[in-house]
Structure 1
Amino acid sequence: MKLDVEHADDAWEVEALFDHCFAPGRTALSSYRLRDGIPPARDLCLVARADGTIGGAVRFWPIRVGDHEAMLLGPIAVHPTRQGEGLGAALICEGQERARAAGVERILLVGDAPYYGRFGFARLNGVEMPPPTNPERVLGCWDWDGVTGPVRRAAD
């Protein structure tokens, strides 16, 4: 599997992967309202490709928390036939490396702390995702000291 930046012509295949891996109502989740009308951070969005087929993908989106900028990681998906190969971990680690090199100070995601904790993510107290997000699943890595408030679209 080769990791590469997601290009505009990959979008349909990435969306098909997300549709395959997630419930049909995935776009109704509150995190999608943060993405409405906002382009992803293309230099951070990655695909894992083998034999011309995308086996995994991750996207990053600019957001604001209080007066602070951050990146929202997600969605991330690995095709069921490629799971267990470390693709998810590779996508997260490479995405974090690229984000740090680009000067990103903090990354937020909604997910399971036991899985994402190994990448430095921990529960964020005082950071409020739009409802109905479970606060226990709001995780962040890097510089969240003193950052609190509602999460909102980068354009708001």
Structure 2
Amino acid sequence: MYRFAAETRQDVYEVEALFDLCFAPGREALSSYRLRDDVPPIRSLSLVARDAEDILSGAIRFWPVTIDGAVTLLLGPIAVHPTRQGEGLASDLVRLSLDRALEAGWQRVMLVGDAPYYQRFGFEKLEHVVMPPPTNPDRVLGRSLVPGAWDSVTGEVLRWAGQRLPGD
């Protein structure tokens, strides 16, 4: 059994250590990290999962980005401690955080990831959305949280410039 909560400032170092454990060295060199530079994650949607002993077992983060002026959520990273993988915790984190995003008024979410894994959550390849290079365009996926949210949203994904966020 896990306890899910919004990530707090006290969780940051533990979450970063989990991401370091679960991802290859140099993860911060990925193009998606350029979109996160000096932009705080959306804490209300960025969740941690702790076990009965209060040990961090998983975490997911979200960041604001824009695409041709359309405010969009960027999901990632998401990680589950190696000793907890295979228990469905990542799925729980994705589903719970997407439910919270919808409740908070977000319309669309995107990520860079494996389509076969993320299709079960309703993500599809975004044909007309361009992540900074060297991102593989086949890994740029999106999901509408409300009907038609991706209709006519095209262009480059840009770093957040401090506009008002849904739910603010």
Please give the range of the TM-score, normalised by the shorter of the 2 chains: over 0.9
Equivalent residue for 1:9? 10
Q: Which runs of 5+ in 2 are unaligned?
A: 163-168
* Cα RMSD, aligned residues only: 0.8
Query: How many residue pairs were aligned?
Result: 156
Q: Which runs of 5+ in 1 are unaligned?
A: none
Deviation at 1:122, TM superposition (A): 0.3
Q: What secondary structure does 2:102 align onto? A: helix
Aligned-pair identity (%): 60
Q: What secondary structure does 2:45 align onto? A: coil
1:150 aligns with 2:156: yes
> In the aligned structure 2, how far is the partner of 1:103 from the partner of 1:79?
30
Matched to 1:153, the amino acid is R
1:80 aligns with 2:82: yes
Deviation at 1:69, TM superposition (A): 0.4
| 1:70-126 Cα shifts (integer Å, max 9, x gaps) | 000000000110001110000000110000001000000000111000001000011
Equivalent residue for 1:101? 103
Q: What secondary structure does 2:63 align onto? A: strand
Equivalent residue for 1:56? 58
List, as ranges, runs of 4+ consecutive aligned residues in structure 1 with deviation greater than 6 Å: none
